[in-house]
């Protein structure tokens, strides 16, 4: 960004009103603002259909402005849909590829920055 490049853009899909998920995604949005990244929060109520959710994942994959995105789990559906491969999905993993138990935000932003 300091070199005049594109401002990184992280999008998050949040379904329902799970307190932990709300806090986690809010922290990501706040951190994006703090480091100059653009962020988008896409919210759905718990009655969203699997088809609507899958359509949004496809849309984000095709959106040239979005560099990475997360679908925040858990999803409040009877069964979690099998999401298609997402070439912009930002995993919450540490540098060894293991799931993080806490504070995944710096890693998520680092993975995002690496992909742009």
> Is 21 a catalytic site residue?
yes
Cβ–Cβ under 8 Å, residues 75 and 101: no
Of the listed 38, 40, 72, 89, which one is catalytic? 72
Which two three-digit tokens encode residue 91? 């995993």
> Is 72 a catalytic site residue?
yes
Of the listed 6, 28, 39, 88, which one is catalytic? 28
For tokens 């005049």, the residue is 4
Burial class for 103, CB neighbours closer than 10 Å (0-12, 13-18, 19+): exposed
Which two three-digit tokens encode residue 7? 């401002």
State the Cα–Cα distance between residues 53 and 71, nearest whole angstrom.
9
Catalytic residues: 21, 28, 72
């Amino acid at each position: 960004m300091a070199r005049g490049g594109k401002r990184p853009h992280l999008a998050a899909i949040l379904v329902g009103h799970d307190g932990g998920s709300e806090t986690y995604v809010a922290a990501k949005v706040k951190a994006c603002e703090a480091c100059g990244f653009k962020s988008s929060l896409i919210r759905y109520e718990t009655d969203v259909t699997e088809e609507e959710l899958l359509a949004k994942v496809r849309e984000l994959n095709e959106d040239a402005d979005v560099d990475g995105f997360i679908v925040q789990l858990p999803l409040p559906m009877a069964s979690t849909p099998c999401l298609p491969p997402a070439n912009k999905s930002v995993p919450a993993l540490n540098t060894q590829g293991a799931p993080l138990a806490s504070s995944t935000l710096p890693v998520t932003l680092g993975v995002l920055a690496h992909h742009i």
